[in-house]
Structure 1
Amino acid sequence: MDNSSRVSLGVSPRVSQISLSGEAESTPQQRGPGPYLVRSRTTYLFQIRMPKDLGGGRASKQIRISLGACPSREARHKADLLAAECRRRFARMRNRRLAGDDRQSDEAEQMFSGETPEEASAEMRGWLKAHLQMLAKDAPAPSQEDSQAFEGWRGLVGIARELAKGPDGNPLIVDNADILKQKYVEKLGGTALPPEAVKPAVEDNPAANAARQQPLATEPAAPAPAAIAKPIPAVQQDEHRDAEGRRIPAFELDRRFVRCPPSTKALFSEVSDDYLAARAAASGAQNKDLKTARFRRDLFIELIGDHPVDTYDAADLQAYINLLAFWPAQQSQRPAAMTAREIIDGNRDLHLKPLSRKALQEGYVSIVKTMIGHKATSLGYNDPFVNVRAWWPQTAAPPVSAEPLSAERISRIFKTGVESGLLDNTILPLLGHLTGRRIGLLIHLKGIDIREKYTGVWVAQTSSITEIGGSWKRVPYKTEASTTFFVLHHLLTEIGFVDWAMAQGDAFLFPELMRLADPSKSASSYMGRLFKRAGIPKNRKEVFHSLRSGQIEDMRDSKIDGRDRRLQAGHAVAVDEHEGYGFKSITEIRARELARLPLNPEIDFSVFQGLDFDQLARRKRTAGRQAKG
């Protein structure tokens, strides 16, 4: 019997738990490295014993070679391959012995006679080292012809799958199936040639012609062997010229149908599906940002096409940006019955407001670039959009920073909010002005989030997740620094807000807002209406964020340390290595300074005196004009 098939027959069950020094490991119950393997720290050794009929057996020394430091999975994979090679070599040794001296056809084997166990062992060790070096080399890349054939098969199968889905298939693929089918059949048959070379090849190739005419209800049938035995190499992408003979820039072409270079990598849709699945696992499938990302991914595929992920280039990205220059900014102005290109073509005159630069760059383009590079490392391709310089349309308005509010206008906002009789209109502007925190975080405050951190100094701090409607959800903080506590000004204690807020316990301070589908977005809308009623023109960028920025300026004017200003506003602290050290929260001395920060004497804070917060909390927002009182 051939004992080489299972090394464990000649090895103690604990061999994988014995170090090279011969000392037993202290934890024999741990999982061993696997068959044919011995581990010493991070280094693995492959081991096997010569079969008994070749001079081996349990009394013989094992053959060992080092696999080096590598992951356990890689070591087990190499061990399986080396063991298979050993069994093959053992069989050849037996056949060689039976054949006697007839070994002239294998010059390498003449180096060892194989008559003694030592020579047989030395021969095996040499073959194993040579085979291990072969395993370490990368597999040869497929030829250009093979890559083109692979792309053809993958494309035809993808079309068939979309057609099989019926009404759920991708409309871009279903509506253009014939065009796409012809493109991939040409790749499969090796007919991707200039016009003068294509015609004879197609006419003389009945197998390729039949493939073009077959239905795509099922996966395409394999072409005749003669059709793929000698594929014709593809040529470089043809230049496109206009009626006057001038070359058309690549980004002005319809990128859906531009010939791509051969590739065996996954399609963009497949890579982006993995990205979306990973985000869904982390943030939940119902996350609204995930829905937005999926929509923008589908838009890119509809406009540019679904190609192998490593075949996109700068022209694809620029073409996408140029098309989005005419994409309406308002969702209500994009009819659901129209395709993306129909919507874009209908707004070539820009009678509908286009996307802003921020929405275009940080929304539509950024998510596509992230998805493209998602699996660059694991699949082994270069991110095609890295270091690509894009040109942005002049109609994409650049971002405009919020402008500061005057003391008179802040007083007017406070007065209008108190007169509305609504808790959020009354307190949110004051909280934004005194704390410098974002509105999305402020509305998620609960009573238990407020506590006395230092004697006479009250702070507020939201957790990263909170329970809303029976489900745990992420608080919309922008950075981790936003989850640190921030100091509440003594004015909030003097008007009774801190005592009232703590009495709410585990309840939200703004329950009416938290019942809405998107509390942060609704709160921003309500603040916009409040500013409008207070006579603040929207087009001057005097918004709720101006209150937050004003508080940061007030801290700067009061000579508050820059690190403490960032902590109070919820910004990242470590602007350099030195400031990264120390507590990541405000110390007692600094907290007292912030709690007693001088107030602007020109702002009227008297409207907050004597408020009944229970009455304000009971007041419901209704449609139409709000009644006073």
Structure 2
Amino acid sequence: MNVSRIVSLDVQSDVSPDAEIISAKKRNRKLKTRSSGLYLVRSGGTYLFQIRLPKRIGGGAGSRPIRVSLGALPHQQARELANALGALAPTLFREIEKRMAGKRGPNSKTAKDLSDEGVADEDWPFDFASVFLKAALYDIVQPPRAPTPAEAEGHEMMRGLVRIGRELSAKQAGQPHDEMIADHAEVLASRHVAKYQAAASPVSISEELYTSVSAPLAPVPYQPLSSPLPEPTPLTQPDTESGSKDKRLISADVPAAFQLDRRTVERPASSKPLFSHVASNYLAKRKSSKSEENKDISIAEMRLNLFAELIGDHPIDTYTATDLQAFIDLIKYWPKDVKCRPAHLTAREIIASNQDYRFETMARKTLEEGYLAVVKAALNSGQVDHDYRPIANAKLFYPDLARPPVHTQPLAKAKIEKVFQTGVASGMFDYAFLPLIGFLTGRRLGLLLHLQGSDFREKFDGVWVAQTSGIVLSDGKWKRVPIKNTASASFFVLNNFLAEIGLVQWAQERGDQFLFPELMRLMRPSKSASSYMGRLFEKAGIEKSRGEVFHSFRSGYIADAGDNNIERRDRKMQVGHEVGDDEHDKYGFRTLTERKARLLASLPIEVDLSMFRGLDFDEFANAKRTLGRKPKATALPKAGGR
């Protein structure tokens, strides 16, 4: 690999003076070890290119570094690649600065544009630079091959046709144009194509390009279920008297590649295994990692089979982003409810039956995080075993009828109190105390549901905490608590109010018993708990459609802790979020210190919790749900209760 043609011999002088160049040089100077050199550090057996953004575009010494893996290479080869990327840094920084200033070229994007595409305002320079440098590295390592003589002639023919079409469009739009070309567009296009066809066999695309210049494209109806692409409708001259559209080189009515039948589309030859083989191994690995039957595995299996049925079972390395877009374009008609998908119909027949959207279709989140996510995971799961490139960084489009997600919204003080009053009035322990503990700790519902009495302890003098090991014994079997990450298994601080009313002490007395046994005896405790909490909110007059749900307690806790000057890192540890990948955050304890724990335990409460004082916890815990009648309306507090 020869990259010397783009390596600068004086890289450092070209870089903006306020750009932070990351190197092992300073660190190794103290250790008196050999430095990898400018821009370059070593991590194990691989080299990394590292650089920080300049301060003027959001970087500086305190910012996280941009890292691009160069792979396991000889030092000299890694040095050349690092120099080549470093030489591109000034151009990259100037482009980011220009976009931040809103100076837009024909293909540039401002910060607002990138924000609209899902990139956070404060992160887009970092993400933009990372993608830019990775793409540059790819171009350096694998430069494009030179076109064959036939391809070069085809490119030259296309450039000529595009120029003719551009001048013709400019004339029709009343813009400055070359009259010689625009006035004789048809003749020039015909002769231009004939010149290349005379020297070789006809090129299949030439006829389409010629007609796109000489006449408007007639609309071709989209037929998502047809196998072959329908033959183009014969093109005629526009009827100017009837008010038809002007001639256009580009038209939205031409079927795109993703609208072809991807089961029969021609693909490159491959010796790699089929998608069905790789996807089956992917599911087998997921299943083997679970200690019991998991419904998510069967759901993933159904969705992967749907993809194979609609797109086809091909060699794993022949799939592209076009196949993913085609999958979206088909399942946008997929009914949301299972009852609207008759078992005797094929997937394409079900899709055909809902072309008029008679049945409600799936939400955007289900499409993106449910169907597309598992397909991408399966497609990319065989990279190590079979050595092929994954599908990444594709910009996919989703249908406008796919409902956007309803984001969690904060609960008003009056609504929080109404939920608490309704829960206490129900006489059921889970209705009364799951919302209270969630409100005062910020922890997820699934984790709180699996709490046992032995999980409660006095961590510091007068400071109570709870902590699950992540593995519990239920019905004689060891089961994993549905925690989202390892950080969720750390202890979290209990507000002093829970000890004041005696709930913490009562929980300790229960030992290894679950705090919420009524829900834990159900088939799927976490999902059932979510349903029960939804019913509680409904009884309290709170509408789920507005994003006011149990999870609002968690979001509200994080916001309130921030308002009370609890640092971001401490808030993350309290609610069970990963601390982060920033180098600075990795130092120190991965749990809360005593000083921070005391601050969290004494956070002020601005909601009336008087309904929880003096309650008989045993009476609540012994209440049973029965069919046909409601539980006792209230559990009256005992005199001098806890």
Indicate whether the TM-score tops 0.5.
Answer: yes
Structure 2 counterpart of 1:526, from 506, 526, 532: 532
Matched, 1:259 2:249: no
Matched, 1:595 2:585: no
Aligned mates of 1:252, 1:477 — CA distance in 2 = 41
Matches within 5 A, 1:302-317: 302-317=309-324
Matched, 1:241 2:241: no
Matches within 5 A, 1:569-580: 569-574=575-580, 576-580=582-586
Matched, 1:369 2:359: no
SS of 2:316's partner is coil
SS of 1:283's partner is coil
SS of 1:302's partner is helix
Structure 2 counterpart of 1:612, from 610, 616, 629: 616
Matches within 5 A, 1:187-586: 241-244=231-234, 248-284=255-291, 286-383=293-390, 385-574=391-580, 576-586=582-592
SS of 1:301's partner is helix
Aligned mates of 2:298, 2:228 — CA distance in 1 = 38
- Structure 1, residues 142-176: CA drift from partner, whole Å, max 9, x if none? xxxxxxxxxxxxxxxxxxxxxxxxxxxxxxxxxxx
Aligned mates of 1:328, 1:238 — CA distance in 2 = 25
What is the letter of the counterpart of residue 554 of structure 1?
D
Aligned mates of 2:623, 2:274 — CA distance in 1 = 54
Aligned mates of 2:338, 2:454 — CA distance in 1 = 39
What is the deviation of 1:240?
5.6
Aligned mates of 1:545, 1:292 — CA distance in 2 = 24
SS of 2:317's partner is coil
Seen in structure 2, the aligned counterparts of structure 1 residues 422 and 239 have a Cα distance that, compared at 3 Å, is closer
What is the deviation of 1:588?
0.5
SS of 1:452's partner is strand
Aligned mates of 2:530, 2:451 — CA distance in 1 = 16
- Structure 1, residues 546-576: CA drift from partner, whole Å, max 9, x if none? 1111111111111111111111111111352
Seen in structure 2, the aligned counterparts of structure 1 residues 468 and 337 have a Cα distance that, compared at 3 Å, is farther
- Structure 1, residues 199-234: CA drift from partner, whole Å, max 9, x if none? xxxxxxxxxxxxxxxxxxxxxxxxxxxxxxxxxxxx
Mark the runs of 5 or more structure 2 residues left unpaired by the alignment.
1-44, 46-71, 73-201, 203-226, 236-252, 635-642
In terms of Rg, which structure is larger? 1
Matches within 5 A, 1:29-68: none
- Structure 1, residues 76-109: CA drift from partner, whole Å, max 9, x if none? xxxxxxxxxxxxxxxxxxxxxxxxxxxxxxxxxx
What is the letter of the counterpart of residue 307 of structure 2?
F
Aligned mates of 1:238, 1:606 — CA distance in 2 = 70
Seen in structure 2, the aligned counterparts of structure 1 residues 323 and 238 have a Cα distance that, compared at 3 Å, is closer
What is the letter of the counterpart of residue 319 of structure 1?
A
What is the deviation of 1:311?
1.4
What is the letter of the counterpart of residue 453 of structure 1?
K
> RMSD over aligned Cα, in angstroms?
2.3
SS of 1:298's partner is helix
- Structure 1, residues 404-434: CA drift from partner, whole Å, max 9, x if none? 1111110100000000011100001101110
Provide the identity percentage: 52
What is the deviation of 1:244?
4.5
Q: Do 1:240 and 1:247's aligned partners in 2 also have CA atoms closer than 8 Å?
A: no
Aligned mates of 1:452, 1:586 — CA distance in 2 = 14
Aligned mates of 1:389, 1:284 — CA distance in 2 = 37
Q: Do 1:458 and 1:488's aligned partners in 2 also have CA atoms closer than 8 Å?
A: yes
Aligned mates of 1:248, 1:554 — CA distance in 2 = 52
Deviates more, 1:556-565 or 1:469-478: 469-478
What is the deviation of 1:284?
3.9
What is the letter of the counterpart of residue 438 of structure 2?
G
Aligned mates of 2:234, 2:356 — CA distance in 1 = 26
What is the deviation of 1:387?
2.5
Seen in structure 2, the aligned counterparts of structure 1 residues 249 and 277 have a Cα distance that, compared at 3 Å, is same
- Look up the match of 1:621: 625
Q: Do 1:267 and 1:309's aligned partners in 2 also have CA atoms closer than 8 Å?
A: yes
TM-score normalised according to structure 2 size: 0.59
TM-score normalised according to structure 1 size: 0.60
Q: Do 1:402 and 1:543's aligned partners in 2 also have CA atoms closer than 8 Å?
A: yes
What is the deviation of 1:493?
0.8
Aligned mates of 1:582, 1:563 — CA distance in 2 = 11
Q: Do 1:241 and 1:247's aligned partners in 2 also have CA atoms closer than 8 Å?
A: no
What is the deviation of 1:295?
1.3
Aligned mates of 1:482, 1:333 — CA distance in 2 = 39
Q: Do 2:443 and 2:576's aligned partners in 1 also have CA atoms closer than 8 Å?
A: yes
Aligned mates of 1:364, 1:307 — CA distance in 2 = 19
Aligned mates of 1:457, 1:297 — CA distance in 2 = 49
- Structure 1, residues 464-486: CA drift from partner, whole Å, max 9, x if none? 22222222222111121111100
What is the deviation of 1:315?
2.1
Aligned mates of 2:265, 2:257 — CA distance in 1 = 9
Seen in structure 2, the aligned counterparts of structure 1 residues 284 and 276 have a Cα distance that, compared at 3 Å, is farther
What is the deviation of 1:335?
2.8
SS of 1:451's partner is strand
What is the letter of the counterpart of residue 613 of structure 2?
Q
Q: Do 2:228 and 2:260's aligned partners in 1 also have CA atoms closer than 8 Å?
A: no
Matches within 5 A, 1:26-105: none
Aligned mates of 1:468, 1:343 — CA distance in 2 = 42
What is the letter of the counterpart of residue 388 of structure 2?
Y
Aligned mates of 1:475, 1:251 — CA distance in 2 = 42
Deviates more, 1:459-468 or 1:479-488: 459-468
- Look up the match of 2:119: none
What is the letter of the counterpart of residue 303 of structure 2?
R
Aligned mates of 1:565, 1:346 — CA distance in 2 = 50
Aligned mates of 1:621, 1:561 — CA distance in 2 = 42
Q: Do 2:229 and 2:260's aligned partners in 1 also have CA atoms closer than 8 Å?
A: no
Aligned mates of 2:611, 2:301 — CA distance in 1 = 47
